[in-house]
Amino acid sequence: MQTQPKASHFIGGQYVEDTKGAPLVSTYPATGETIATLHSATADVTEQALKAADAARADWAAMTGSERGRILRRAADIIRERNHELSVLETMDTGKPLQETLVADAASGADCLEYFGAIAAGLTGDHIQLGADFAYTVREPLGLCVGIGAWNYPIQIACWKAAPALACGNTMVFKPSEVTPLSALKLAEILIEAGLPAGVFNVVQGFGDVGAALVTDTRVDKVSLTGSVPTGRKVYAAAAEGMKHVTMELGGKSPLIIFDDASLEDAVSASINANFYSSGQICSNGTRVFVQRDILPAFLARLKERTEKATIGDPLDEATNFGPMVNQTQVDITLGYIQKGLDEGATLVTGGKAHARGGLFLEPTVFADVTDEMSIAREEIFGPVMSVLTFDTEEEVLARANDTEFGLAAGVFTSDLTRAHRVVAGFEAGTCWINTYNLTPIEMPFGGVKASGVGRENAQAAIDHYSQLKSVYVGMTPVEAAF
C-alpha cells in the first residue's frame, strides 16, 4: 500500500510541507524498511497550524452540538469502511500484528468519534431555581487545544483526544509521536471528508521542540498528553506557567492480583493480555503479577506452556499474534531490564532474549521469584517482560500493590466478589478491573492517579476536561442595599 503521505503536515484542511524541517523517518519494525520520510515542523509550520486553529474557533463553537456531532459520526462511519486499510497502515508504522490492529486501533477510534458525536447535542447547562430568582449554567468550549500522542496506539489516541475536544466546540492542533507519524494524517483527511471545517483539526509532525512550542504558546487553552512520566512532568510544568487546562495520561507499573480461588485459565489469559499484547508496549499493563502461594506452581506451568505457543512472525500475517518492538531503543531498554532481572536474582521462566528472527523481535519473557525491590518490579519497562511475585494474605498484597509511585491501573482475579470489590476499593489506581484486564471501552473513563497522571479520557468524564461552565445569576426581585 502507499505509505508515503502527500506531505508531512495537515493544516487548514490541506497538506502542508516544509522540507527545511529535520527529517522524520518512519520504518516498518518487522523489516527495518523505510516506509515514509517526513519533516519536523519548522517554526513557520507550527505558527501556521496555531493560526488556523485559532481562526476556526469562533465558527466551530457557534455550531450546534447536533451539527458537530453529525460530522463526528460521519467520520466514524468512514473509518469503519476503511478499517482494513487503516489497520495495515498502523501495523506498518507500529509493528503491531494486523490481528490486533484490525480490532483495537482504528476501530476503537471510530467508536470514540461515534460516542462523542452522539452526546454532542446533549452538552447543555442547568437551570437552578433560587426562590423568585434563578441561575443557569452554560457549558462552553475551552478554545484551542493541543494534543500530543504516543507511538503505541497512534490513531486511537488521536481520536481519544480529538473527539471530546471537537464535540465540545474546541479546535485542536495534534502532534503525533515522531516514531509513528502516519495515521493521524489519515484521520485529518477523513474528518475533512466528513464535513469538518478547515482548521478545526490540524496535524503537525515533530520532535520534542515542536511539542514544547505548542504547549507554551499563549493561544493554547488546553494540553492533553499521552506519554511517559518524565515527559508528563515537563509538559505539566510548562502548561502550568500559562494556567492551561491539562489531561496527563502517563505511565504505570500496575499490579494484577490473582487469588487462589480464581479461574486459573482466565487468570493466565489476563496475565498474557496484560503483558504481551502490543509486545508489552501498553501503559496500563499489569506487569506486576501477584499470585497467591498455593496456586503459584500451577499458574507458572500453564503460563509457560501458553506463552511459548505465541505465534511470532510477519505482523501483516493475521496468524501472527506477537510482533516486533517499535524500534531499537525499546529493544535495548527491554534487554537491559531483562539483564537486571537476572543480575538481581529473579528466576527466568521463559523467554529472556532476542528472538531467532532477529531485528526488533524479542521473546515474551516471564520472571518468577521477583521481589518488590527489584528493578523489574519497580520501573516501567514498556516491553514484553512479566514479573511474577508471590503473596499470602489480602492485606499484605494490597499494601505491596500500592507501594509504587504509579497509579494508572490495577486488577484482581477472585471468585469472591465481596473480596474483589474490597480490594478494588483499596487500590490506589485510576482504572481497575475485576476478573478481566486492559479492556478500555469508550463508555468508561480512563486515567490514573499519583505519578500516572491527572484527568480522565473517554466517557462523560472527558467532557469536563474539554469544556468549562459559565454561571449566570438572574435577579427577578428588587435589589436591596445597606444604604
Distance (Å, rounded) from C-alpha 40 to C-alpha 35? 16
Catalytic choice (161, 175, 186, 450):
161
CA proximity to 326, closest of 108, 26, 85: 26
Query: What are residue 279's phi and psi, to 5 degrees?
Result: 55, 35
Return the number of other C-beta atoms located less than 10 Å from residue 229's C-beta: 20
Residue type, 195: G
CA proximity to 466, closest of 149, 78, 164: 164
Catalytic choice (283, 363, 394, 450):
283
- For the question of residue 178 being annotated catalytic, the response is no
- For the question of residue 283 being annotated catalytic, the response is yes
Cell of 222: 488546553
Query: Starting at the edge strand that comes first in sequence, how are the strands of the sheet with 201-203 ordered?
Result: 14-16, 9-11, 201-203, 171-175, 144-148, 222-226, 245-249, 453-454
Q: Which residue has the cell 520520510?
A: 37
Check: CB of residue 148 under 8 Å from CB of residue 236: no
Catalytic choice (114, 178, 189, 457):
457
- Residue 450 zone, left/alpha/beta (φ > 0; ψ -120 to 50; rest): left
Distance (Å, rounded) from C-alpha 452 to C-alpha 430? 9
Query: What are residue 390's phi and psi, to 5 degrees?
Result: -110, 145
Reported in sequence order, the residue ranges of 80-221 that DSSP labels E, i.e. its strands, are 127-130, 133-141, 144-148, 171-175, 201-203
Catalytic choice (90, 178, 249, 363):
249
- For the question of residue 249 being annotated catalytic, the response is yes
- For the question of residue 81 being annotated catalytic, the response is no
The 3-state secondary structure of 239-262 reads: HHHCCCEEEEECCCCCEEEECCCC
- Catalytic residue positions, numbered: 161, 249, 283, 457
